[in-house]
Chains A and B, each alone.
Chain A
Amino acid sequence: MSLSRRDFLRASALSAAATTLGIGSIFGNEAFAKAKIDEADFMQDSKGVQWHKSVCRFCGVGCGVMLGVKDGKPVGIRGDKENTVNSGLLCVKAFYLHQMITAKNRLLYPMIRKNGKLTRATWEEALDLVASKFSEIRDKYGPDALAFYGSGQAETEETYVANKLFKGHIGTNNVEGNPRLCMASAVGGYTTTFGADEPIGTYDDIEKCDLFFIVGSNTAEAHPVLYDRIARRKRQNPNVKIVIVDPRKTPTNKIADLHLQVIPGYDLAIIHAIAKLIIDNGYTDEQFIKDSVNFSDGKNPITYEDYKKFLEKYTPEYAAKQCGVNADDIVKAAKLFGETPRVMTMWCMGVNQRVAGVFLNNLIHNLHLLTGKLGKDGCDSFSLTGQPNACGGVREGGGLCHLLPGHRVVANEQHRKEIAELWNVPAEKIQPKPGKHTVAMFDALGKGEIKGIYILCTNPAQSIPNLNKYLKGMSDAFMVVAESFHPTETSQVADVVLPAAFWGEKEGVYGCTERRSQHMAQALKPSGEARWDGFILADIAKRMGYGNNFEHFTSVEAVWTEYIKSTKGKDMDLTGATFARLKKVRGLRWPVPSEDHPGTTHRFTDGDPYFPKDKAAGKRMYFYTKPDGRATIFARPDKGPEEPTSAEYPIALTTGRIMEQWHTMTMTGQVPELVRAAPNPYVEINPEDAKEWGVKTRDKVRMVTKRGSLIVEAKVVDRPRKGTIFVPWHWPESLTNILTIDAVDPGSKEPEYKVAACRVEKA
């Protein structure tokens, strides 16, 4: 190599300067670039790049991002340092968001299946076909022969338009979305325990919490920015403790003080045992229980004493035997929970994707109700969300078969009347009976009961459990797929494929885990002939004869403005979160009942605008979404998995995600860097099992369940507990959901992706 004296001197000077100055001289001065946005929703830097304020397209954390655009093209991505969710930090997926806008697999024009092949069509042809075919099915077989299947990645406005079309005009409640597959059990838990969906606290509690109790969540990989906040809290406060309950050792274990590595599907007894120890050791908040808690066995009210009797069998030893952990560790966990003043429990798919998902959610809430560690700084029973708008669009927007917008349900006559009035339709147009939940919906497709389906922004031909059972139904029915990308496993078997504008090419609102609704700017024109999903749906509505009630949807703002009317006076009041206001701020956390209201950090207590001080009469919390203001502690049985291991299928199979990939890889699979992180499908095998089976890393192994088999590479690693394998479900060339079971929680109807019985053979 050659090096000039000039280079040498420069290098030396730089080294010296770095050594002498360190970073101290830089922090706090004007050198750090500003990203403040006051009035406009973008700012321009010195290189002519316009940075548009938005929200990350991936998980439910809701990180603020800035999309850089120059000459009409996406040129970069930055974390939004003004956004308090992430303070400028991004994870690896968000880092490549701008590249996905121009990915090779972007769908640029409509396609119609002709003679078995998807062929380019005009918008007129495609929309005419969809509207005429849907009208024909509606007229011939009735409205319930049609269905809509949406997404927790769709904007709230998109889900709202679809809901209005299908439930309010076509007249079917067959409206579902993929949050059924990830969050439905959390909804069931919150609504049964507290009378209303979604968490009581916010992310602000993280920086005040002293014990994080993490159940069934690999936060480090699934929610990296939130993990960073938790890890920072612990780093800055070494007394902060972290307890994990999970069948795997995951990267989250790096910050754990205690890990209860349970047998998949058998953790309910642990939570009961902790509840018993909390009571036995006097860790309860008796005044809080007296003021704000009821007890139930799930069918009838019971007394506190009945509940204590119910818990008698859940000794640490009993739970340890059930769950495959040490009894001493359960005692330690209970002691930490009981003695630490400020506790947050966080959970995700490991709790929700279970046939006992709602029960387990209830049991987690029980711990916080027993100890009163709720509704105050640093405390919450806080469900983590998998998708960016599962909370905002689908849970709040009412995008499931039993819901209506604004935390309403179809079964409630008053709710139907209120929404029918908003939608300008007769109240009887909205059916009182819930439609078909997701698994039942795809089952009905196979049986020919549902003959036409509109799928928006999701990929069920890869994500539905027990796939082999449902793929034929998707091929046989008249299936419309509105997507930004093609091919996906689903778009390939569609009859009509409609190109949808992607993130950055449309504006709209996402609502994240902590009840925060945030505006995303449109920074670019849609690629090719792509259009905003809301306009596509409104055009179909017009063609089906419902034009009057959709004609005013000439902008995204028009839809949002109509939607927030449905929230007025509700527990999730967004009346004060007008479009204009959301454009300026970094989101608002509901209830936010007026434009001068700052939003709410803790619900059901002082500071919540709907907290009824008169009814509360001095009580710290009043759950005004319950008839008597009291939340419910449930004595639920410690139900195990639907498919326990057996002599024929002795291994527990559990599925999940890796940090670098998102769902079915439609987006992240286009980024070479992310693909490089884990180039091939694989299964994690415990070293002891691998030794027994004679398997080494990179050997091919066959996994067999009652439903199908799959061959992938082995990765021998001390992560899953012995007797358990873990398979990420991302790769389309290796459909993990051929193996999973389609049994659902009887309450939430969420499938049990997290536990199936299998056997493993060297292939």
Chain B
Amino acid sequence: MKKFYLALLIIIAAVVVSYGFIGAQQSQGDKHPDVDWTLSCQECHSEMTPEVYKDWELSKHGDVDFGCYICHGDGQEVFYPKGTDERCGGCHAAQLVEFEKTKFNSCYDCHNGHTLKFHNE
């Protein structure tokens, strides 16, 4: 019985600790909500998701105004709830990683998608 409670505790801890790491991406769904498409990503997200917007704005992508669409698509015709490694590699060819030679599976294992910083920074 103790083992069961321990397992349950681990699962609850997983939900609490890792929600921001994995869950936030999974909960988005495959479709972007239908919105006022005459707005740019930034115009809307600066109001709707100000924290994410702030993370992006202070990142290197934000610094050079490379917008949400670079990783997530336009939201209407193309939508990637989570960025893909292939897309990272397009611009950052010098940092392309052959993951099979590492302990990692994705750029996002090390980098936060919005701040672009390492998770330990």
Contact = CB atoms under 8 A, between A and B. Distances in A.
B67 interface: yes
Interface string A1-43: 1010101100110110111111100100111110100000000
A33 B96 CA distance: 6
B75 A676 contact: yes
B40 A15 contact: no
B76 A33 contact: no
Contacts of B105: 14
Contact of A79 (B14, B70, B94, B103): B94
Contacts of A17: 103-104, 109
A238 to B, nearest CB: 16
A672 B78 contact: yes
Contacts of B86: 76
B20 to A, nearest CB: 11
A32 B95 contact: yes
A686 to B, nearest CB: 19
A228 B60 CA distance: 10
A675 B93 contact: no
A659 interface: yes
A251 interface: yes
Given A32-B97, A676-B41, A14 B109 contact: yes
A672 B73 contact: yes
Contacts of A92: 66-67, 70
B118 A26 contact: no
A23 B14 CA distance: 25
A679 B40 contact: yes
A679 to B, nearest CB: 5
A214 to B, nearest CB: 16
A264 to B, nearest CB: 23
B63 A254 contact: yes
Contact of B97 (A26, A251, A677): A26
Interface residues of B, number: 53
Interface in B60-102: 63-67, 69-70, 73-78, 86, 89-99, 101-102
A45 B91 CA distance: 17
B14 A11 contact: yes
Given A17-B109, A31-B97, A677 B37 contact: no
Contacts of B99: 31
Contacts of A679: 37-40
B48 interface: no
A554 interface: no
A42 to B, nearest CB: 15
A1 B27 contact: yes
Interface in A654-682: 659-660, 672-680
A227 B63 CA distance: 12
B54 interface: no
A673 B74 contact: yes
A5 B90 contact: no
Contact of A1 (B23, B40, B94): B23
A78 B92 CA distance: 8
- Nearest 7 CB-CB pairings of A with B: A8-B14, A88-B94, A88-B93, A676-B74, A673-B69, A672-B74, A19-B120
Given A32-B95, A89-B91, A95-B91, 12 more contacts: A3-B15, A3-B22, A8-B14, A17-B104, A31-B99, A31-B101, A78-B89, A88-B93, A90-B91, A92-B70, A676-B67, A677-B69
Interface of B: 7, 10-11, 13-15, 17-18, 21-23, 26-27, 37-41, 63-67, 69-70, 73-78, 86, 89-99, 101-105, 109-110, 118-120
24 contacts: A1-B26, A7-B14, A11-B21, A11-B22, A14-B105, A15-B18, A18-B104, A26-B102, A66-B93, A76-B86, A79-B90, A79-B91, A79-B94, A88-B92, A89-B93, A92-B66, A659-B65, A676-B40, A676-B69, A676-B74, A676-B75, A677-B41, A677-B67, A680-B38
